[in-house]
Amino acid sequence: MNIYFSGIGGVGLGPLAEIALDAGYSVVGSDREASLMTEKLQARGIQVNLGQDGSFLRASHDAQPIDWFVYTAALSPTHPELILAKQLGVKVAKRDELLAHIISEKNLKLIAVAGTHGKTTTTGMFVWALQQLKVPVSYSIGTTIGFGPSGQFDPQSEYFVYECDEFDRNFLHFSPYLSIITSLDYDHPDTYPTKADYLEAFAQFASHSQQVFAWNDQQAEVFNGLSQVSWLDPSQINQAIGVSGLYNRRNATLVQTALKYLGFNQQTDSVISCFPGTDRRFEKLAENLYSDYGHHPVEIAATLQLAREVSDHVVLIYQPHQNVRQHEIRGDYTNQFELAEEIYWLPTYLSREDPRLAILKPEELIQNIINKEHVHVADFNDELWDIIQAARDQGKLVVGMGAGAIDGWLREKLAA
């Protein structure tokens, strides 16, 4: 099978292209510009064209007919390559449909990690545990990790561990052998107009799974009548697993429960306790400076709880994500910031926006925060960096939080 990836240098499609290559498929692709990922793929012998006017797709198809044209949700419906692929009669699909096909064709058992929060860390934890137990594993994680590539196909593996994202209803392409649901809070209003739509999608996902493990304090009523769902109670959190943060311990308990279900009972406490973490999930960038991907009120509270286990003095630099999301959750910003001594609130990172919605200003988003007197409107500038440096010098732990530009800004400042 010959697969063309449009946007092959992206964090989603790049690792999938490597998985497809290692699984024995022919891979080619394009992107707008060079990146570390495009260079890595080219070094592996994959043809990558920088430019997406359609000419490379046509030439590739003429040389060897393309069977699948795979693209991301970010690709415009009027994109030249997408239009041409349809004209050529090529099967057009997003990444999850292709991944589901590969998993099925290779007869792998899918272990799916779903949920509003904690998917990336939990997926990484599961992959790490299997690796330490010397179990061959194929996987895909939505970030970079320090113990392997973001995605990998192992021809010896029985299992494929996947961070199964609900955005764009991606997770409904799969029929997992085993699923973990980490948490449930309404999110992605651009995909799910109402909370009921969101929860119904998770119920549908669970119904596709042979076995599900979830917490009974996470809207268990959503899964009424689904016999394949096994419930854990918060009293069952394994405190012997030595990871920081309440939610990390919850996720570690889910992983351990799933491992036992699969028949792996040996040394799971110590194996999971040694988990090194994933990038951008409370990732230590430098002394007293951490980066975190959190961008939902529940994630903010969870990360600050974790940070307070590390330090008694925490400063938060927060960048909200997506204006359309802020319109949905603005009333939910209340008591999540109490564990931070000071909060510096940045303008919202804009992505996939509804042009009909007014851009909410920081002053509009912080109105209901309980410790509002400690919230300061800020921007990416030298003044903010001086504040961060002063806090670090005083021994305070600084967390830069958000799914947008904040991580890159912090790394650039450290490298300057």
Domain assignments of the chain as residue spans, ordered by start: 2-93, 108-273, 283-415
Average the pLDDT over 214-240 and give the result. Answer: 93
Q: What is the CA radius of gyration of the chain?
A: 22
The dihedrals phi and psi of 398, each to the nearest 5 degrees, come to -105, 130
Asked whether residue 52 carries a pLDDT value surpassing 90, the answer given is: yes
Q: Which CATH architecture has domain 283-415?
A: Alpha-Beta Complex (3.90)
- Per-residue confidence (pLDDT) for residue 18, from 0 to 100: 96
Q: How far is 16 from 158, CA to CA, in rounded Å?
A: 18
- Per-residue confidence (pLDDT) for residue 352, from 0 to 100: 83
Asked whether residue 336 carries a pLDDT value surpassing 90, the answer given is: yes
Asked whether residue 146 carries a pLDDT value surpassing 90, the answer given is: no
Confidence of residue 175 (pLDDT cuts 50, 70, 90): very high
Note the pLDDT tens digit of each residue in 338-354. Answer: 999 999 999 999 988 99
CA distances from 292 to 144, 299, 389 (A): 13, 10, 18
Q: What percent of the chain has pLDDT over 70?
A: 100
The dihedrals phi and psi of 187, each to the nearest 5 degrees, come to -155, 175
Average the pLDDT over 378-391 and give the result. Answer: 98
- Per-residue confidence (pLDDT) for residue 383, from 0 to 100: 98
- Per-residue confidence (pLDDT) for residue 395, from 0 to 100: 98
Confidence of residue 46 (pLDDT cuts 50, 70, 90): very high
Other C-beta atoms closer than 10 Å to the C-beta of 193 total 10
Note the pLDDT tens digit of each residue in 70-95. Answer: 998 888 999 999 999 999 999 999 99
- Per-residue confidence (pLDDT) for residue 151, from 0 to 100: 92
- Per-residue confidence (pLDDT) for residue 393, from 0 to 100: 98
Asked whether residue 144 carries a pLDDT value surpassing 90, the answer given is: no
- Per-residue confidence (pLDDT) for residue 190, from 0 to 100: 87
Average the pLDDT over 201-205 and give the result. Answer: 97
Fold of 108-273: UDP-N-acetylmuramoyl-L-alanine:D-glutamate ligase (3.40.1190)
Mean residue pLDDT across the chain: 95
The dihedrals phi and psi of 181, each to the nearest 5 degrees, come to -115, 110
Q: Which CATH architecture has domain 2-93?
A: 3-Layer(aba) Sandwich (3.40)
Three-state SS annotation for the chain:
CEEEEECCCCCCHHHHHHHHHHCCCEEEEEECCCCHHHHHHHHCCCEEEECCCCHHHHHHHHHCCCCEEEECCCCCCCCHHHHHHHHCCCEEEEHHHHHHHHHHHCCCEEEEEECCCCHHHHHHHHHHHHHHCCCCEEEECCCCECCECCEECCCCCCEEEEECCCHHHHHHHCCCCEEEECCCCCCCCCCCCCHHHHHHHHHHHHHHCCCEEEECCCCHHHHCCCCCEEEECHHHCCCCCCCCCHHHHHHHHHHHHHHHHCCCCCCHHHHHHCCCCECCCCEEEECCEEEECCCCHHHHHHHHHHHHHHCCCEEEEECCECHHHHHHHHHHCCCCCCCCCEEEECCCECCCCCCCCCCCCHHHHCCCCCCHHHEEECCCCHHHHHHHHHHHHCCCEEEEECCCCHHHHHHHHHHC
Q: How far is 178 from 229, CA to CA, in rounded Å?
A: 10
- Same topology, domains 108-273 and 283-415? Answer is no
Which residues, in sequence order, are bridge partners of residue 26?
2
Note the pLDDT tens digit of each residue in 226-235. Answer: 999 999 999 9
- Per-residue confidence (pLDDT) for residue 265, from 0 to 100: 84
- Per-residue confidence (pLDDT) for residue 212, from 0 to 100: 98
- Per-residue confidence (pLDDT) for residue 415, from 0 to 100: 96
pTM: 0.82
Cα 243–chain centre separation: 20
- Per-residue confidence (pLDDT) for residue 142, from 0 to 100: 85
Confidence of residue 177 (pLDDT cuts 50, 70, 90): very high
Asked whether residue 39 carries a pLDDT value surpassing 90, the answer given is: yes
Other C-beta atoms closer than 10 Å to the C-beta of 271 total 21
